Amino acid sequence: MRLILGSASPRRKELLAQIGVVPDDIRPPDINEDPAKGELPRPYCARMAIEKARAVQASDDELVLCADTTVALGRRILGKPRDAGEAAEFLLALAGRRHNVITAVALRLGDRVWERDVVTAVKFKRLSDEELNAYLRSGEWDGKAGGYGIQGMAGAFVPWISGSFSAVVGLPLAETAGLLQGAGFPVYQEAP
C-alpha cells in the first residue's frame, strides 16, 4: 500500500518521520480554503481536511493523508495571514490570551474517508513591540495559521498549552498513527 501525503508542509513530513512513516509521494491539493459565511472553526477545519483528501488524485490502492490546522480565537478563524500587517493583527489579537488550535486529519482510501480532529488550548504571553517586530522581520509567520509557528521563535511566546504539541505544529501524531494503523498501514518502522 502506498501513502500519498496531500500537503506541501515540510513540518508534516518531518512529523510523520517521527513515527517511522515516509510518504511514497507528495501531492498537495489545490482547493479554495475560504471559510463559509458563519462557519465555526472546528467544522471548518474538518471540512478542509476532508476536501483536501478528496481533491488529491490517487488510485484506489493509495492511501491519501491530508490535514488542516486552524487557529480559533473564540468563533473567529485566523488563517494564514496575507501579509506582515495581517500577521501583526493576528499576533496582537492573540497576545495575552488563550486560543484554540484545531488540527483535522483526513485519510482516504478509494471512496472511504476517515477524519479525526484535535483541539489544543494555547496561551500566548503579552508581546512587547520589540518581540512582535523581531518576529515579523523573521518571516516565520508566513504560511502559518494564526501567523505563528510554535516550533520556531514563537515558542517563546507560549508559556502554556493543554493538548497535543504535534497538532499545533500541524499533525496530531497519536491520532494520525491510529488512522494509519486502522487502515492497515505500518507505522513505527525504521527509516530505510
Residue 115 C-alpha from the chain's centroid: 14
Q: Which residues of 117-145 are buried (b: 16+ CB within 10 A; e: fewer)?
A: bbbbebebeebeeebbeebbeeebbeebb
Q: What's the average model confidence in pLDDT over 8-15?
A: 93
> How do the domains of the chain map onto residue ranges?
2-183
Q: Which fold has domain 2-183?
A: Maf protein (3.90.950)
What whole-number percentage of the chain has pLDDT above 90?
95
Residue 4 has pLDDT above 80, yes or no: yes
The Cα–Cα gap between 180 and 148 comes to 28
Per-residue model confidence as pLDDT tens digits over 98-138: 999 999 999 999 999 999 999 999 999 999 999 999 999 99
How confident is the model over 45-104, as pLDDT tens digits? 999 999 999 999 999 999 999 999 999 999 999 999 999 999 999 999 999 999 999 999
Catalogue the active-site residues.
68
Q: What is the 3-state secondary structure (H, E, C) of 142-192?
A: CCCHHHCCCCCHHHHHCCEEECCHHHHHCCCHHHHHHHHHHCCCCCCCCCC
- Give me the pLDDT at residue 113, please: 96
Q: How much is the pLDDT for 145?
A: 94
Type of residue at 111: D
Give the pLDDT score at 192. Answer: 52
